[in-house]
Chains A and B, each alone.
Chain A
Amino acid sequence: MSTEVSPEHSRAATPGPLTPAPAPSAAPNPSAGRESARRSGVHDKGSLMVAVVIGALLIVWAGNNSYRYSLVQTAALYALIGVGVYIPFVMGGSLSLAYAAYASIGGYSVALIASKTSLPVWLGWFIGAAASAVAAVILGQLTRRLAGLYLACITFLFAQAFQSWLNSASGITGGQSGIGGFRATSIFGWVPHHRAQIVMAVVLVIAVGYAVDRMRLSPWGVTLRAMREVPAAVEASGVRVSMLNLVALGFGAAVAALGGSLFTTVTSVVTPGTFTLNLVFLAVFMALLGGQATPWGAIAGAVLIVELTLNVPSLETSGSLLVAIVVLVVMLVAPTGVLGIVNTGRRRLASVVADRRRADTPIDQSDGDSLA
């Protein structure tokens, strides 16, 4: 025990009294270590595997069908916007409604770089992400002392104003007809086409989902999630919560901008109407629908929403209504979302199996050990 004490603590006069109850505290320490090891990045591999398998299935399903291509592209766009919303909204508790604008910024910066300059097109992806992040930080800064609806309101107005500006500044943005037919993104001279683009989109979504899931588990994500519940305690621990909130909003905007860049790259055209304001609501609902526990929930929600609103012919006009109703019901009845329900089911099943097994072996009393 005493060998593990940090320098700060080893200054204590007598090591003995430091550990109030030597017997119980010596035993749990190794188990605590094991637990933390398990938390740090092993268990999230499972979701990654599932996502890879589903992604691969989607690619196979899309085949050579161009309609299915467009569905997968749209799902990728929605998924990235959904993950973008997830960071500040689910983890940090800030509702921003400017995600259509952020996606537009990502899209237009790719289009502008490709059509007006001879710079490499991938630069547009970075510029778009950075510009969206800056916009999100400024909007967040304006409302940092105010209740959540103020942020929702100012970001919505920004999205509206941005769309108006895209329409009116035809010298730069091409006005209502937007920008089209520009250079494709090339990677070291290789220009991916159709199938490769779909694969890239799926890979990007999975990579971003995995990255954000790791952020969620990292100390930064832990702090952000704690801030949502107990801002006063996080502030008292030395973290400026208003600033952390801005950073989360910035990250979210950057991810959404990646979605816009991706979509624009694949379709080679962007107009003020490409990313509609309705998308914002769908984006907020994705995480609620899919599940808030991890960003995979937002991605699952995105796929589900694309399926419901675009791919079920019998639902053609009522798809959005169905989505809205389902979201409302989920919010009221099952706040953990679809993945949450699946997870609960899985855990129940696992515990049933475990119970069966445990019935054969005597129960370990020390298992029920609790604090102190």
Chain B
Amino acid sequence: MDQPQLWVSALTQGSFFGLLGLAYYLVLIGAGFFNIAVGAYASLAGLLTSWLVVEKDFSLWPAIAIALAVTVVVAGATELLVVRPVQRRGRGSELAALVSVTALLFVIAQFAGFEFGYTTLPGQQLLDIEPVQIGGAIITANALIMIVLTFAIFLLLAMLIRTTRAGRLLRAVGDSNPVANMLGLPVHRVRLIAFLLCGLLAGVAGLLFSSQAGVSSSSGLGWAISGFLAVVIGGAGNIIGPLIGGIVLGMLQIFVPYYWGGNATNIVLLVVAAAFFSLRPQGAFAQRVRV
């Protein structure tokens, strides 16, 4: 593991998974719900940007703005049109909500495939900076942005959640929806904000990552699982949990294939997930159980 270049890759991937995990985390604490459409938001944002630039001759920044706006709208629609009506049905709605959102994930993936094609689209170069060389590693502009932005977003959100009223509300609502409702807290609004933020974060993550690795309509599901694993490994007791989990996951994704070959990755992932689920479902670094 003395390959600096691999570490850079691991960190970049890890940042991506961490951001996805953070998107999960927001909805999890705000609505007590694992929103696996996160993967779909990410792939939608990446695909839409590339498609607008490649097929429709948009310039990059307007394309990004449109893609993020669409993703945020889709995330809001997830809460308003899918999760809320299904959860209102009451008993047994946990499964129904999970399945509806899975169906939504599938709809978005199929729609993206239908509209943007089923092939992998290349990502877009975000900034015109020369790759930086640090130690023995070359860091491309996109990787640099990914890593820096991820850490910035985490810091910012950690502060916001600790210090602002909205952040405290988010946690209060997430702790118990019914109680918060009785106390007259704006449960619906807080939940919606959690979903919108989730969409935005997932969109940014997808954009940044597909600018390096490309993106296809079928990427969403795998990303959804990775983000979920980031939360599970890191634990949802603390906002830094998803970041740590993401980086652990990123290291697995990079180092396992390097040392044991490409097919080993999925098997190692299974083993790691099985170990966490059965031994430490609350995550490696969390004190509080929140499943």
Contacts and interface: CB of A to CB of B under 8 A. Distances in A.
A and B touch in the complex (CB under 8 A): yes
B167 to A, nearest CB: 25
B270 A147 contact: no
B267 A331 contact: no
B274 to A, nearest CB: 5
A246 B102 CA distance: 22
B133 interface: no
Contact of A160 (B107, B228, B266): B266
B52 interface: no
Contact of B107 (A95, A164, A325): A325
Contacts of A277: 221
B110 A321 contact: yes
Nearest to B89: A335
Interface stretch (B13-21, B90-98, B141-149): B90-98
B92 A149 contact: no
B111 A321 contact: yes
Contact of B99 (A95, A142, A229, A325): A95
Interface in B106-121: 106-107, 109-111, 113-114, 118
B138 interface: no
Interface string B220-236: 01000100110010000
Given A153-B225, A284-B102, A321-B110, A95 B95 contact: yes
A306 B180 CA distance: 46
B267 A281 contact: no
A349 B37 CA distance: 40
Given A164-B267, A321-B107, A153 B273 contact: yes
Nearest to B94: A148
Interface string A91-128: 00101000000000000000000000000000000000
Nearest to A331: B100
Contact of B274 (A142, A147, A318): A142
Contacts, number: 119
A320 B118 CA distance: 12
A48 to B, nearest CB: 28
A182 B111 CA distance: 39
A152 interface: yes
A165 interface: yes
Interface string A131-157: 000000000001101111110111011
Do most interface residues of chain A lie in helix, strand or loop, or is the interface mixed? helix
A325 B114 CA distance: 13
B58 interface: no
B228 A149 contact: yes
B85 interface: yes
Contact of B110 (A153, A320, A332): A320
A109 B24 CA distance: 39
A318 B266 contact: no
B270 A154 contact: yes
A324 B100 contact: no
A318 B100 contact: no
A308 B106 CA distance: 16
A304 interface: no
Q: Which of B89, B104, B107, B269 has the most CB of A within 10 A?
A: B107
A152 B98 CA distance: 10
A150 to B, nearest CB: 6
Contacts of B73: none
A99 to B, nearest CB: 14
Contact of A146 (B86, B266, B277): B277
A279 interface: no
B158 interface: no
B229 A153 contact: yes
Nearest to A97: B102
Given A160-B266, A285-B103, A150 B92 contact: no
A318 B113 CA distance: 9
Q: Which of B100, B109, B261, B273 has the most CB of A within 10 A?
A: B273
Contacts of B221: 156, 277
Contacts of A318: 114
Interface in A316-349: 317-318, 320-321, 323-325, 327-328, 331-332, 335
Interface string B115-152: 00010000000000000000000000000000000000
A311 interface: no
A156 B225 CA distance: 8
A266 to B, nearest CB: 27
**Which 3 residue pairs across A and B have the least CB separation, nearest first?**
A168-B263, A321-B110, A161-B270
14 contacts: A143-B278, A146-B277, A147-B94, A148-B95, A149-B98, A153-B273, A157-B266, A161-B266, A288-B99, A288-B103, A321-B113, A324-B107, A325-B107, A332-B85
Interface of B: 34, 36, 81-82, 85-86, 89, 91-92, 94-96, 98-100, 102-104, 106-107, 109-111, 113-114, 118, 218, 221, 225, 228-229, 232, 261-267, 269-270, 273-274, 277-278, 281, 291
